[in-house]
Amino acid sequence: MFIGAQVSLYPMTSDFVAVITDGLEALTSYRSDLRIETDDMSTLMVGAPEALFAAIRDLFAAAARRPEHVTMHVTLSRGCPGEPDDPSCRCEALERAQEQGLAERQALAAEAVTGAPVAGVEIDVQFSLYVMGGGDHMEEIYGCIDFLKKSGTFLRSKNFCTRLRGDAGAVFATLQQAFLRFGPAQGHVTIDLTASANSPSLR
């Protein structure tokens, strides 16, 4: 399976270069576990979900600790049939999910969020989960929504997406569980998300 993300950071300040480089510096400790490639548009990260979500979380948290309003756009994908299998993306949670029912996966997802580390920075996220291929994809999406509403990070539903709010640790743990626990374990699943911190609209 191939698991990865394209990540773009958008600081709302004239000092945007420093904000972006601070964020990228937070990826240093993940370079041995992930393939990380940065160009003028985005940063590609490929690897196992635990390191992948932690790296995205730490990148955004580093930028969000500054006072400026900052947003981030992320496209996540697993199981894309157009990408080659990558052994670095191996994920035990996905392997076990093939034998687990929806209720068990919801319970495991909620437990994982409860144990999330505290990042110490409050963020907002809106995201959409896309389950590709055949089968009853709406059952999986509704099952994910039920989990989100009990996750402790749920803010509200919107057209085409769900809003989350809370500490970056819990929010990204919620996103990771939505990505891994819902949709076919060996199928193609994507998430499109926008994160925001320090927005003046909330003051």
pLDDT for residue 55 is more than 70? yes
Q: Taken in order 98, 101, 106, 107, is the CA torsion positive or negative?
A: negative
Please indicate, yes or no, whether the overall pTM of this predicted structure exceeds 0.75.
Answer: yes
Span 66-89, pLDDT tens digits: 999 999 999 999 999 999 889 999
Phi, psi of 190 (to 5 degrees): -130, 160
Using an 8 Å Cβ cutoff, are 49 and 86 in contact?
A: no
- Write down all domains in the chain, each with its CATH number in brackets: 3-197 (3.30.70.930)
Among 55, 74, 149, 168, residue whose Cα is nearest residue 110: 149
Amino acid letter, 12 = M
Span 23-32, pLDDT tens digits: 999 999 999 9
**What are the residues whose beta carbons fall under 8 Å from the beta carbon of 2, sequence distance 6 or more?**
46, 77, 78, 79, 80, 83, 84, 85, 86, 89
**What are the residues whose beta carbons fall under 8 Å from the beta carbon of 174, sequence distance 6 or more?**
113, 148, 151, 153, 164
